[in-house]
Every structure is written in structure tokens, then in C-alpha cells.
Amino acid sequence: MASTQAAGQGARVLVASNRGPVSYDVREDGSLHARRGGGGLVSGLSAIGSDADALWVCSALSDGDREAVRRGVGESGVRMLDIAADVHADAYNGIANSVLWFVHHMLYQTPLEPVFDAEFRRQWASYEAYNRAFAEALAHEAADGASVVVQDYHLTLVPGMLRDLRPDLRIGHFSHTPWAPPEYFRMLPDDIAAQVLRGMLGADRLGFLTRRWADAFTACCEAFADGLGNTRIGVHGLGVDADFLRTRAHEADVEERIAGLRDEIGTAPDGTPRRTIVRVDRTELSKNIVRGLLAYRQLLADHPEWRERVVHVAFAYPSRQDLAVYREYTAEVQRVADEINSAFGTPGWTPVVLHVKDDFARSLAAYRLADVALVNPIRDGMNLVAKEIPLLSDGGCALVLSREAGAYEELGEDAVVVNPYDVVGTAGALHEALTMPVGERAERAKRLSAAATALPPTRWFLDQLNALRDG
């Protein structure tokens, strides 16, 4: 099918993702209130400028979003798809978050799960319909020969579907998650695994955050398809925007929160400020917050000299609360933090300062106060927090980093590296980080910051676009 746009019309650069750059709430008086999100893709896309005929295709996620689509309210450069709420819930909660996310992060407790039953098949049909809605919208909106960059596990079938509709387009796909190795990927029913790979291989070029995830994808294609065919693979390790973060982290609201946090952290018996072990996560099952708390408890048990002298500042912001397993995990984080505070706390010392209400300014304040950053995911595509904290910490922090985070490929040499399942080992790493000589800590933080900012979002996005066009 050719483009339905008249010649010369349509977008020349298109991005497709489940979550878009804007969301809407319906206010009590019935008016719509728009909120713009941040993140790497938003700043990446801004790099191509407003005159570039760019379009971001995303899904309506809430009733407010659906209402905005129905009222024809929208931002220029964004097209929100009004996908039926039940179809979206099956595709997003049922398949993307409960199956594909679990497979790529290797999260199943296999004695009882996964179970690929008739209900799974029903949800998979919704996932297909949701991917098709994106493919059709992109086919409709793209100018002749345009470049399309599809994002993530929500939309694995789009490249193949779009290729059939519009063979003239340059199609890319970028994975922000790890990719499962073949032994784990083969848990999916054979026809579903083949369909996912076929969908992805409809792209001209596939991007991954690290060599490890790219190699896992290639290995899956060798095991379960006829190799990569004509699809090229690229590695683009998304970094952070140093100028933006440094400026934002010194604004008045952050200074205010630093004062508040200092009060919560308090001072050691000798009158010096307490040391801080800082972590900030969306509470995803892969982040390993509970084992992080257990490691901290082990540290207090193994090294009583740290009692009253250190505080674990843990911000665990709610994520995907439609899923029971996420709600249970969030509750477990709270329970273990409370347990540590009642076992070790004293009238003047709260060992764990846990906050669960998302507050960007307070996160930046915690970054600035960090002596040690704890980033210990079971498995993570990249983990930008591992890049942000060393960059922003006022004193230059030590980084305790899981070898299973994508960031390990870039930051491993200057981090204290841990096996995320090894709680005793992680406790030892926290002690090592807390006792690292100040000079060494600062030197390492400097090198970590340089690595963290090597590929800022704008360049990360433009590199992919140029590679897609050049291919």
C-alpha cells in the first residue's frame, strides 16, 4: 500500500512508542490539562528541530488521553492513538509488562510460571491488534522514504507489519531493555517467539543499549530464525545530558530539598554529617531494592561501627501499579525498610529514609548528597541513575554497581562491582565504598561522569537516525 499522503506531504522522521511525550487529565470543570514528560527520547527528538516534519506516534494511556483524542486536542508533532482501553490493557499489562518484560529480564519463578494458556492467546491477539494500529498510523503519516524509529518491547511486531504496508520506508527499532539469551527466550511458545523475531527483523536496523543485549538478540535469530537476514544491528549506549542536569540540580527547589533531607539524615555522634548510601528507582521488579535493603542490614550487622554514622536514602517510586505483583513488591520494600528501622533505629537515627512519592527535585537533592550510590539491579537495559549520581554528587560519590546492569559495560572499571544476588558480597561492597579514600573516590567519580555523559540523548538519537538513513 502506498502512502495515503499526497506527494511531498507527511512526516520525514517518525518515532513510535507506547508512552508519548504528553499526557492529559480531565479537571473537575471538565477542562483538559496537559503534562509534558521528560526523558531521553524527548530531548533526543528535540535535536532534529521543529522544521524537520517530525511526528511522535504514541498510545492514549488514560481516560484523559482518550478524551483529548476524541476532542481533537493535541500538540503539534504528536499523534495519540485512541486504542480501546481493554485492548491496550491486554497488550500493555498482559503481554508487554507480564510476558516480554519478564522474559527479557529473566524474572519468572519457573516452578509455577509462565503459563501460556488460552488467556495468554487471547491477550496476544490484543497485542497484535495494538501493534497493527501503530503500523497503520505510521504507514498513513509517513512521507515517501521517511525514517521511522520504533521503541521497545511493546512494539516488536510493528517493523514487520510496517514493512509490508510501506516498503519505501527506512525502519529502525530500539530496545531500551536487555534481550533474553536463547535458553530463556525459548520459553515463549515457538510460534510466538518466531513472530517476535520476524516482527523485529522487518526493520532495516535494530538498536540496543549494549553489545551484550545485541549479541543475545543475534543468538536468538541464529537459534530460532534464519539469522539476521538484511537487518543491521547497532549499539548505542544512551548517556545523560550533563548541562541540563547540572543546571537543574542547582535550582532553588533542589536546594530547599537538600535542607530537608539533611534534617532527615542528621549528624553522627561526633557531630559530623552522617554518610549516605543513595538509591533512586522506579519500583520495577528488576531493580532489586529488597536485596539492597538486606545488604544494608548486613552491613549494619557486620560493621557495627557504621551504626548512627550512615543513612540509606532510598527513593522507590511507584510503577505499573495495575499489576498485583508490582504492588506486592512495593509493599515488601516498605516492610523490609520498616523492619530495619525498628531493629536498628535509635531516637536520633533513622537508618533507612524511604520515600515513595515521585519528586524529581528531591531525587536530585539526594544525588547531590550521595557518598555512595547503590545501583544493584538483577538485570537492566542501561540504568541512567548509575550515570546521574556520580555526575551530580557534590563530593564525588563511590558507585556500587551490579554487573547485570547495561551501565556496567561503560562504568564497570571505576565502580565497586557486585553480583546482585549476593547480599553478603553487596554488604562488603558498601563497606568498601564507604571507606574508599576521598581522593580515590573523587578521581573515580570524575571518570564515571565522563563516561556517563559521552553519548547525550541528542547525539544518541541523531546517530541512530543517520545510521538508518546511510544504510
Interface residues toward ligand F6P, by CB under 6 A: 18-19, 152, 176-177, 319-320, 381
Q: What is the DSSP letter of 154?
A: G
Asked whether the bond before 437 is cis by omega within 30 degrees of 0, the reply is no
Query: In the complex, what is the shortest distance from the CB of residue 152 to ligand F6P, in angstroms, rounded to a whole number?
Result: 5
Query: In the complex, what is the shortest distance from the CB of residue 351 to ligand F6P, in angstroms, rounded to a whole number?
Result: 28
Query: In the complex, what is the shortest distance from the CB of residue 202 to ligand F6P, in angstroms, rounded to a whole number?
Result: 20
Query: In the complex, what is the shortest distance from the CB of residue 349 to ligand F6P, in angstroms, rounded to a whole number?
Result: 33
Q: What's the chain's Rg over C-alpha atoms? A: 23
**Grid cell of 83 as nine digits:** 486504542
Query: In the complex, what is the shortest distance from the CB of residue 260 to ligand F6P, in angstroms, rounded to a whole number?
Result: 27
Query: In the complex, what is the shortest distance from the CB of residue 305 to ligand F6P, in angstroms, rounded to a whole number?
Result: 36
275/379 with CB nearer ligand F6P? 379
Query: In the complex, what is the shortest distance from the CB of residue 337 to ligand F6P, in angstroms, rounded to a whole number?
Result: 22
What residues form DSSP beta bridges with 72? none
Separation CA 314–CA 287 (nearest Å): 12
61/254 with CB nearer ligand F6P? 61
| 447: nearest Cα among 406, 402, 400, 397 | 397
Order of strands across the sheet that contains 275-282: 352-355, 310-317, 275-282, 372-375, 398-402, 416-418
Residue entry with cell 498485583 = 324
Q: Which residue is nearest to ligand F6P (CB)?
A: 176
**Grid cell of 393 as nine digits:** 554528587
Query: In the complex, what is the shortest distance from the CB of residue 165 to ligand F6P, in angstroms, rounded to a whole number?
Result: 24
Separation CA 312–CA 293 (nearest Å): 8
Helix, coil or strand: residue 38: coil
Asked whether the bond before 347 is cis by omega within 30 degrees of 0, the reply is no
Which residues in 376-460 belong to E strands, given as ranges? Answer: 398-402, 416-418
CA dihedral 279, 282, 284, 289 (to 10 degrees): 20
46/319 with CB nearer ligand F6P? 319
320/368 with CB nearer ligand F6P? 320
312/320 with CB nearer ligand F6P? 320
Separation CA 17–CA 359 (nearest Å): 24
